[in-house]
Every structure is written in C-alpha cells, then in structure tokens.
Amino acid sequence: MKANKSDDRDAEAIAEAATRPTMRFVAVKSEKQSNIRALRRAHSRLVAERTALSNHLRALLLERGIFVPQGRRKLEDALTVFADEEDPQLSPRTRVLVEDLRAEWRGLDEWTAAFDADFVRMAREDEAARRLSTIPGIGVINATALTVAVGNARSFGRGRDLAAWLRLTPRQATTGASRDCSAYPNAAIGICGRI
C-alpha cells in the first residue's frame, strides 16, 4: 500500500500483482457454485431467524414466570402444553401472540427442512461432496459448503496450503515461550517484555 486507498491505486496494485510469477489467482465460480452459495446464505439466514424466534419465545414466557430450558425440543414441548391447556400465567392476548410466533417458527422449520433436502440432493449428485460427507463429522451441508468454497482443490499445491486457506492451524505442542505473559509471571521482563 503506497498511500491512501483509491480506485486508481487499486487498479495499479492489481496490474502489478498480475505481473508477478508466483501470484495465484482465484478461480471464477461456476453458475452451479454461485447457486449453492446463494442457497447456503439463505439457509444460514433462516437458521438465525429461527434461533432468534425461539429465544424471543423463551424470553416472552420467562417474563410471565414460565421457565423453558434450552433446547428446541423442550421449547416445542412447552409450547404444546400451553396450546392444549389454559394457563393462568398467560393472558388470552399473550396466548394468541405465542400461537402466532409458534406458527411462524413451524414455517421456518419447514423452509429450512426444504433447504436441507436440497443440500442432500446436491451432495448425492456431486462426487466430491459425496466423498466428503463420508468423513465423520462432515455432513451434507458442510460437504456442499466445502466443495463450493474450495472449487478445484488442485489449485492448492498441497494439503497444508488448503488447511491454511481454511484457517485450520495445527495444535501448538512446543515448549517454546508463550505469548500469554500471565502464564509466566516472572518472565515479564524476559520474553514477554519483547512482545
């Protein structure tokens, strides 16, 4: 960066980077990859909305003295009980509000389930996603996300480069100095003093 950011300086930096022999370029995403990324963003937004709505329902009930433990199923069970019986802690208007929010929550559940079904179908159709989903801990959602984000894995020279790109770092197992000076109170002047 030579000076303050501007369009002209950005264009110059891009032109200079393009002339460097070791520069790696980002591959353009295919239409299929772009579509999957759009679906993933929409799915993430729906999941966040569903979580916010469940937290809102819990808070609404807690304001009326009704504690519902964490967990989706526990909230669903509690809402079913309130729908089936008259609870003196809930006014008729609050009961209607809870039912409206519950209906919205069910709608979000159905919508996210439709997205999940799309991801399963996409993972079955894509060879790389199908292989990735066989790894323990990687489901179809993560497999489709990884195949879209990485694209052609051959653009990475080795697995370590891919791991670094994904910001996966190896566990630190050395006996060297710690950056946390509180772990070594007598080393404040020594190693920690140079940080």
Q: Each residue's pLDDT tens digit in the chain (195 positions)?
A: 566 778 888 888 888 888 887 776 667 778 888 888 888 899 999 999 999 999 999 998 888 888 888 888 888 888 877 666 676 777 778 888 888 999 999 999 999 999 999 888 888 888 888 998 898 988 888 888 888 888 888 878 888 888 888 888 776 666 665 555 555 454 444 444 444
Digit-coded pLDDT (tens) for 20-54: 877 766 677 788 888 888 888 999 999 999 999 99
Catalogue the long-range contacts made by 118-125 (C-beta closer than 8 Å, 24 or more residues apart). 118/39, 119/39, 119/43, 119/144, 122/36
State CA 160 to chain mean position distance: 22
Digit-coded pLDDT (tens) for 83-104: 666 767 777 788 888 889 999 9
Q: What is the pTM of this model?
A: 0.66
Question: Is residue 140 within 8 Å of residue 120, measured between CB atoms?
Answer: yes
Q: Which amino acid is at 104?
A: E
Task: For the chain, give the number of residues.
Answer: 195
